[in-house]
A and B are shown apart, each in its own frame.
Chain A
Amino acid sequence: MTGGRILVVEDAIVNRKLIERLLRQEGHAVTAVGDGLAALEALGGDGEPPFDVVLLDLVMPGLDGYATLARMKADSRVAHLPVIVISAVEELDSVVRCIELGALDYLPKPVEPTILQARLNAALSAKRLRDLEVEVAAQQAELLRTIARQKEELSRFLSPQIAALVSSPEGERLLAGHRREATTVFCDLRGFTSFSEAADPEEVLGVLRGYHAMMGSLIVEHGGTLEHFAGDGMMVFFNDPVLQEDHVLRSVHMAVAMRERFAELASGWAKRGHKLGFGVGIATGHATLGRIGFEGRYDYGMVGMAVIVASRLSSAAEAGQILLAPRSHDAVADQVVAEPIGEIQLKGMSNPIAAVNVLGLRGAGKAGVSPKPAMPEAQS
């Protein structure tokens, strides 16, 4: 073992010189003092004390070994230093008292070099292990701070549920891919293309920011997972990665709330001459969810017939309409007020489907009741 830094506290000058010499010839760096006050002074100062082990005599003038030990243990800066008390064999009761006070070990007098080395090496190992633990704990704390910072940063780029999923224990499995029933919501603006062609870019971005901010807060409020947004279009799904027993109802609540809040926004835009409308498509079905993309850019995505149906329904919806696919409607039929819009033929699908348009919610849903929401006139 390489040398340590040892503080020797011993009033008998012959023994002090002898111990100092025995330690130096074993390669230790030694500071030797004659009483407790001098020892505390040597241990003083800021930061880590410059010693690994303290060898402490008990019977000393001024501040004796017991008082010195008690003061060391009361000082959090030096309390961790291993202390070996030096004691004559006939003073074993003193040794017990010292160990109760926090001493690590004792050394019988007269000092026997082999025992001195053995006890000292054990104390040095303890001190080095402790130093290592402190170092590892500091590294670990730094690592945890980094992870927390990354999580926070990640949650700005991803939906909160997906950010949480990435760092959860089951994240790897769910990201790798899984099948689950989910409800997909597509929504976009009617008249946005002609608006964006005619208006100033600042105006277009201003409208989009207002729209995104409002829709974003409603998605979070209803527990939806935003899969993506592109321009005026958004795809949100429910029941994944967080399971939601009422995922269909949640999606309808969100869509109704979106339609109401959109009406407020749209009336403001209408005053500036912009005619914009809002359409939604909702479908429920089994889908595959997980990491989709390529090395360097992955998204948490959803693939399945429900996604395609919701997308097509959104395209088919007129301004102010929330179109529900039959399976979604079945799940919430007694909780929503809806009107059939007849069979519609969706692009790329062989059979027409019987979608309904949601007029409002039955009873006092959290998104509020609005049997026939007032929507501004808009071009589809």
Chain B
Amino acid sequence: MALGSPMFRKLLLTALLLIMVTVVMLDLLLSRYTVSRERSRTQSHLATEAAILAGEAEALTVGGLAAWTRTAAQRAECRVTFIDPGGVVLADSEADAAAMDNHADRPEVAEALKGRRGESIRRSESVGRELVYVAVPVTVEGRGGYVLRLAVPLHQVNTAVAEVRRRLAEASLVAGLLALGIAYLWSRMLTNRIARVKDFAERLAQAQFAGTLPPGPDDELGQLARSLNSTAQQLRDVMESLRLESARREAILAGMVEGVLAVDHELTVTFCNQAFARAVGARYPVPERLPVLELMRDPSFLELLSRILVSGEPRQQRLQLAAAEGHSFRVQASPLDLKSGRGAIAILHDVTDLERLERVRRDFVANVSHELRTPLAAIQGYAETLLNGALEDSDNNRKFLEIIKAHAVRLNQISSDLLALSQIESDLSVPPLERVRLREVIDAAVRSVEAEAGLRGVAVHHRGEAVDGTVLASIVGLEQVLVNLLDNAVKFNRPGGEVWIETGTEEDGTTRIVVADNGIGIPSEDLPRIFERFYRVDKARSRAVGGTGLGLSIVKHAIERMNGRITVESQLGRGSRFTVLLPAG
């Protein structure tokens, strides 16, 4: 990887450029130096040789010059030329002396003719090469003025320069290889570190905040790594607090009593809490990306959501859901701006209890005025009739007065029932509970309805194994309860009907007293409401049998004050069954 990386190439190029510049400069310097050194070395060598040969030449004769010149050239390994004082070449080791022109004008020869050593470097016309010349004055056969000239070609100098250049090339090759290696190692180290930082930063960008980056040496890269590490730590902290926050919100939403449903612009469920799923009869948790139609099909709710998606205006409405039988809800729906478009969120409040309480209160006021007005109207009417002359009508006056009395009794009964109820409700202190023998209370209660039962042709039985036991109750309260229940069972019955009072013990030890009949029963839609004050299933019949509409309300409150419970089952036309549960004494 490092070999192909841009970093490596840049480092290598820089190193090679530096090496090249160095080599070129070195070459320039060294070759100049070498050339000048070689020349002066060659010249001084030639000067030494010339001095030696000049000594020998003094013993020569002019006739032996040619032969000596050749041997001297061999010994000194250079070209040797002998010139007479007039500039005429007498002998030459490499050229034909006779063919050579006068050499008196050659700078080194001219110098030597003046009696000094002459030197020059120039191209030879005789041999056609660049030569280094040294000429010295020589005495031959006792006569001075002759010149001995030595010459070597300059190529020896060039060879030396080439040698220097070869060494330089070798050295720069080694340096280049070294630079390659160093650039490779250095770039690999750098690129590895950078790659680690880059990977880490990319992971951060992809929201993977785990792990830390080894910072390495304290250079710029190390500082970068350290600041990335602290960024990652901060991101981790932020993410953690966000996660906690969303988990908390999720828990709050999931645990809310109100149903919460969020949908996106395609009416696909994005959130649904347990309360909502329960209200619509769906399974919880709801599968991901469920179309809302598969969660619930209620047309008015769907229309509400669609309207929100179109208009973006929050709305609310009342809703009854088939799956939550008998419950009513208020839905508040608002638009929800999502990235994908406008969604909606709906919050479902169960307002069943609220509505029921409201209705009970409303009905109570209506009922109580109705219950009071009927006897009062009768009393007023008959009293007016009497005053308008009926008082003297001996056939009717007594009858009218009895009707007035009956209605007054009824008013009295209603007000004492209301009083009893309000006492029970307002008196929070529990009445003294005592061990009450069931047999005694039941016998007393049965006795008090016997006359009514006989009139209506209804038989009252009692049976059960727990009848000899005791319960923890108030004796007056329990008798009141049983009389009320038995009274209802007898009155809402048919001639020849039967009423049972059964006792038994529940698994948890509480005592069960059941008052059952095979009378007319209670319609299922009325069952939840029969314990309400003045609630009557069949108003005409109830009044005809002399009920105030408060009996069961009193029963329920009295039992609750004795720490008991009452439940009812009934089937229309088959009879009813009230079950009282009381702690055993």
A in complex with B: no
Residues of A that sit less than 8 Å from B by CB? none
Residues of B that sit less than 8 Å from A by CB? none
